[in-house]
Amino acid sequence: MQQFLFVAIAHFLALLSPGPDFFLVARTSVRAGWRHAANVCLGIAIANGVLILAALSGITLFRPDSISFIVIQLTGCAYLLYIGVLFIRFAGANSVSEYNVKKHGSDTESAGVWRHCREFSMGFLSGILNPKNALFYVSLATLIGGTTVISLKVVYGVWMFSIVLLWDLLIAIFIGNRVILKYFSQILPWLERVSGLILIGLALSVIMINLIALA
Protein backbone atom coordinates (compact mmCIF):
# COMPACT_ATOMS: atom_id res chain seq x y z
CA MET A 1 0.00 0.00 0.00
CA GLN A 2 2.88 2.35 0.85
CA GLN A 3 4.52 1.75 -2.51
CA PHE A 4 1.26 2.35 -4.37
CA LEU A 5 0.75 5.68 -2.58
CA PHE A 6 4.31 6.69 -3.45
CA VAL A 7 3.80 5.83 -7.14
CA ALA A 8 0.39 7.54 -7.28
CA ILE A 9 1.62 10.75 -5.61
CA ALA A 10 4.84 10.93 -7.65
CA HIS A 11 2.90 10.39 -10.87
CA PHE A 12 0.27 13.00 -10.05
CA LEU A 13 2.89 15.58 -9.05
CA ALA A 14 4.57 14.99 -12.41
CA LEU A 15 1.24 15.65 -14.15
CA LEU A 16 0.90 18.98 -12.34
CA SER A 17 4.05 20.22 -14.05
CA PRO A 18 3.01 21.83 -17.39
CA GLY A 19 4.76 20.27 -20.36
CA PRO A 20 4.28 19.72 -24.11
CA ASP A 21 1.17 17.59 -23.58
CA PHE A 22 -0.48 20.30 -21.47
CA PHE A 23 0.21 23.03 -24.03
CA LEU A 24 -1.12 20.87 -26.88
CA VAL A 25 -4.33 20.02 -24.99
CA ALA A 26 -4.84 23.65 -23.93
CA ARG A 27 -4.25 25.04 -27.42
CA THR A 28 -6.59 22.51 -29.06
CA SER A 29 -9.31 23.14 -26.48
CA VAL A 30 -9.07 26.92 -26.96
CA ARG A 31 -9.06 26.72 -30.76
CA ALA A 32 -11.51 23.88 -31.40
CA GLY A 33 -13.32 23.12 -28.14
CA TRP A 34 -12.91 20.40 -25.54
CA ARG A 35 -14.50 17.66 -27.67
CA HIS A 36 -11.71 17.97 -30.23
CA ALA A 37 -9.17 18.26 -27.43
CA ALA A 38 -10.52 14.94 -26.10
CA ASN A 39 -9.03 13.24 -29.19
CA VAL A 40 -5.66 14.71 -28.27
CA CYS A 41 -6.13 13.54 -24.66
CA LEU A 42 -6.84 9.98 -25.80
CA GLY A 43 -3.74 9.96 -27.99
CA ILE A 44 -1.59 11.24 -25.11
CA ALA A 45 -3.04 8.66 -22.69
CA ILE A 46 -2.42 5.74 -25.07
CA ALA A 47 1.14 6.96 -25.69
CA ASN A 48 1.68 7.08 -21.92
CA GLY A 49 0.23 3.58 -21.71
CA VAL A 50 2.82 2.33 -24.23
CA LEU A 51 5.65 3.98 -22.28
CA ILE A 52 4.33 2.61 -18.97
CA LEU A 53 4.11 -0.91 -20.41
CA ALA A 54 7.62 -0.67 -21.86
CA ALA A 55 9.13 0.72 -18.65
CA LEU A 56 7.46 -1.77 -16.29
CA SER A 57 8.29 -4.66 -18.64
CA GLY A 58 11.96 -3.67 -18.54
CA ILE A 59 12.32 -3.37 -22.32
CA THR A 60 15.97 -2.51 -23.04
CA LEU A 61 14.93 0.04 -25.67
CA PHE A 62 13.80 2.35 -22.87
CA ARG A 63 16.85 2.05 -20.62
CA PRO A 64 18.43 5.49 -20.04
CA ASP A 65 21.97 4.25 -20.78
CA SER A 66 21.08 2.77 -24.18
CA ILE A 67 21.74 4.42 -27.54
CA SER A 68 18.17 3.64 -28.61
CA PHE A 69 16.82 5.66 -25.66
CA ILE A 70 18.99 8.64 -26.63
CA VAL A 71 17.74 8.37 -30.23
CA ILE A 72 14.14 8.35 -28.97
CA GLN A 73 14.85 11.43 -26.85
CA LEU A 74 16.43 13.31 -29.76
CA THR A 75 13.52 12.35 -32.03
CA GLY A 76 11.18 13.70 -29.37
CA CYS A 77 13.19 16.92 -29.24
CA ALA A 78 12.85 17.31 -33.00
CA TYR A 79 9.08 16.93 -32.66
CA LEU A 80 8.97 19.48 -29.82
CA LEU A 81 10.94 21.94 -31.96
CA TYR A 82 8.45 21.37 -34.80
CA ILE A 83 5.42 21.94 -32.56
CA GLY A 84 7.07 24.96 -30.93
CA VAL A 85 7.76 26.59 -34.29
CA LEU A 86 4.16 25.90 -35.39
CA PHE A 87 2.81 27.51 -32.22
CA ILE A 88 4.87 30.66 -32.83
CA ARG A 89 4.35 30.80 -36.59
CA PHE A 90 0.56 30.52 -36.47
CA ALA A 91 0.00 32.41 -33.20
CA GLY A 92 -3.27 34.31 -33.50
CA ALA A 93 -3.72 33.26 -37.13
CA ASN A 94 -7.43 32.66 -36.49
CA SER A 95 -9.61 33.79 -33.63
CA VAL A 96 -11.60 31.21 -31.69
CA SER A 97 -14.90 32.48 -33.10
CA GLU A 98 -13.58 32.38 -36.68
CA TYR A 99 -12.33 28.84 -36.16
CA ASN A 100 -15.67 27.67 -34.79
CA VAL A 101 -17.59 29.22 -37.71
CA LYS A 102 -15.36 27.40 -40.18
CA LYS A 103 -15.60 24.19 -38.16
CA HIS A 104 -19.39 24.13 -38.16
CA GLY A 105 -19.92 25.63 -41.58
CA SER A 106 -17.68 23.66 -43.89
CA ASP A 107 -16.90 20.26 -42.35
CA THR A 108 -17.82 17.19 -44.37
CA GLU A 109 -18.08 13.81 -42.71
CA SER A 110 -14.75 12.65 -44.19
CA ALA A 111 -13.06 15.90 -43.16
CA GLY A 112 -14.42 15.42 -39.64
CA VAL A 113 -13.01 11.89 -39.43
CA TRP A 114 -9.68 13.11 -40.76
CA ARG A 115 -9.57 15.88 -38.15
CA HIS A 116 -10.27 13.41 -35.33
CA CYS A 117 -7.48 11.13 -36.57
CA ARG A 118 -5.08 14.05 -36.92
CA GLU A 119 -5.85 15.28 -33.39
CA PHE A 120 -5.39 11.78 -31.98
CA SER A 121 -2.10 11.39 -33.87
CA MET A 122 -0.78 14.72 -32.60
CA GLY A 123 -1.61 13.69 -29.04
CA PHE A 124 0.00 10.27 -29.46
CA LEU A 125 3.18 11.71 -30.98
CA SER A 126 3.38 14.37 -28.28
CA GLY A 127 3.07 11.73 -25.56
CA ILE A 128 5.33 9.05 -27.05
CA LEU A 129 8.09 11.48 -28.12
CA ASN A 130 8.00 13.63 -24.99
CA PRO A 131 11.47 13.10 -23.43
CA LYS A 132 10.09 13.92 -19.98
CA ASN A 133 7.50 11.12 -20.16
CA ALA A 134 9.95 8.39 -21.14
CA LEU A 135 12.53 9.42 -18.55
CA PHE A 136 9.93 9.69 -15.77
CA TYR A 137 8.42 6.24 -16.35
CA VAL A 138 11.84 4.59 -16.63
CA SER A 139 12.90 6.26 -13.36
CA LEU A 140 9.67 5.22 -11.66
CA ALA A 141 10.04 1.63 -12.89
CA THR A 142 13.57 1.57 -11.46
CA LEU A 143 12.28 2.69 -8.06
CA ILE A 144 9.49 0.09 -8.12
CA GLY A 145 12.08 -2.61 -8.79
CA GLY A 146 11.94 -5.95 -10.53
CA THR A 147 10.69 -7.86 -7.49
CA THR A 148 7.21 -6.30 -7.62
CA VAL A 149 4.60 -8.89 -8.63
CA ILE A 150 3.10 -8.62 -12.11
CA SER A 151 -0.46 -8.10 -10.83
CA LEU A 152 0.66 -5.02 -8.87
CA LYS A 153 2.48 -3.67 -11.93
CA VAL A 154 -0.75 -4.04 -13.89
CA VAL A 155 -2.58 -2.05 -11.20
CA TYR A 156 0.10 0.66 -11.39
CA GLY A 157 -0.12 0.77 -15.18
CA VAL A 158 -3.93 0.96 -15.33
CA TRP A 159 -3.97 3.60 -12.58
CA MET A 160 -1.40 5.85 -14.27
CA PHE A 161 -3.06 5.50 -17.70
CA SER A 162 -6.47 6.38 -16.22
CA ILE A 163 -5.13 9.38 -14.30
CA VAL A 164 -3.36 10.77 -17.38
CA LEU A 165 -6.55 10.50 -19.44
CA LEU A 166 -8.79 11.93 -16.70
CA TRP A 167 -6.42 14.82 -15.88
CA ASP A 168 -6.01 15.86 -19.51
CA LEU A 169 -9.77 15.66 -20.09
CA LEU A 170 -10.37 17.88 -17.05
CA ILE A 171 -7.89 20.42 -18.44
CA ALA A 172 -9.61 20.31 -21.84
CA ILE A 173 -13.09 20.74 -20.35
CA PHE A 174 -11.99 23.52 -17.99
CA ILE A 175 -10.21 25.54 -20.68
CA GLY A 176 -13.01 24.80 -23.17
CA ASN A 177 -15.58 26.38 -20.85
CA ARG A 178 -17.29 29.36 -22.53
CA VAL A 179 -16.31 31.84 -19.84
CA ILE A 180 -12.71 30.63 -19.77
CA LEU A 181 -12.70 30.43 -23.57
CA LYS A 182 -13.75 34.05 -23.87
CA TYR A 183 -10.83 35.08 -21.68
CA PHE A 184 -8.34 32.81 -23.44
CA SER A 185 -9.38 34.06 -26.88
CA GLN A 186 -8.02 37.48 -25.94
CA ILE A 187 -4.61 36.22 -24.87
CA LEU A 188 -4.36 33.25 -27.28
CA PRO A 189 -1.67 34.75 -29.56
CA TRP A 190 0.64 35.49 -26.62
CA LEU A 191 -0.17 32.13 -25.00
CA GLU A 192 0.81 30.35 -28.21
CA ARG A 193 4.06 32.31 -28.53
CA VAL A 194 5.07 31.67 -24.92
CA SER A 195 4.11 27.98 -25.22
CA GLY A 196 6.15 27.70 -28.41
CA LEU A 197 9.21 29.26 -26.76
CA ILE A 198 8.89 26.93 -23.75
CA LEU A 199 8.68 23.85 -26.01
CA ILE A 200 11.70 24.99 -28.04
CA GLY A 201 13.63 25.73 -24.83
CA LEU A 202 12.78 22.29 -23.42
CA ALA A 203 13.89 20.57 -26.63
CA LEU A 204 17.18 22.48 -26.80
CA SER A 205 17.95 21.77 -23.12
CA VAL A 206 17.43 18.01 -23.59
CA ILE A 207 19.60 18.07 -26.73
CA MET A 208 22.37 19.86 -24.84
CA ILE A 209 22.19 17.37 -21.94
CA ASN A 210 22.50 14.43 -24.35
CA LEU A 211 25.40 16.04 -26.24
CA ILE A 212 27.25 16.67 -22.98
CA ALA A 213 26.62 13.06 -21.88
CA LEU A 214 27.95 11.72 -25.19
CA ALA A 215 31.04 13.98 -25.15
Cα–Cα distance between 88 and 155 in angstroms, integer?
40
Cα–Cα distance between 57 and 47 in angstroms, integer?
15
pLDDT tens sequence for the chain (215 residues): 667 787 778 777 777 767 788 888 988 888 888 889 999 999 999 999 999 888 888 765 566 666 777 777 788 788 778 878 887 887 766 544 444 444 444 455 556 788 889 999 999 998 988 877 877 887 777 777 656 678 888 888 899 999 999 999 999 998 877 777 676 667 777 877 887 888 788 788 878 887 887 76
C-alpha dist (Å) from residue 23 to 66, 176, 181: 29, 13, 15
Q: pTM for the complete prediction?
A: 0.74
Number of structural domains (the chain) is 1
Cα–Cα distance between 69 and 209 in angstroms, integer?
13
Cα–Cα distance between 131 and 125 in angstroms, integer?
11
Residue 140 sits in which domain range? 2-13+20-214
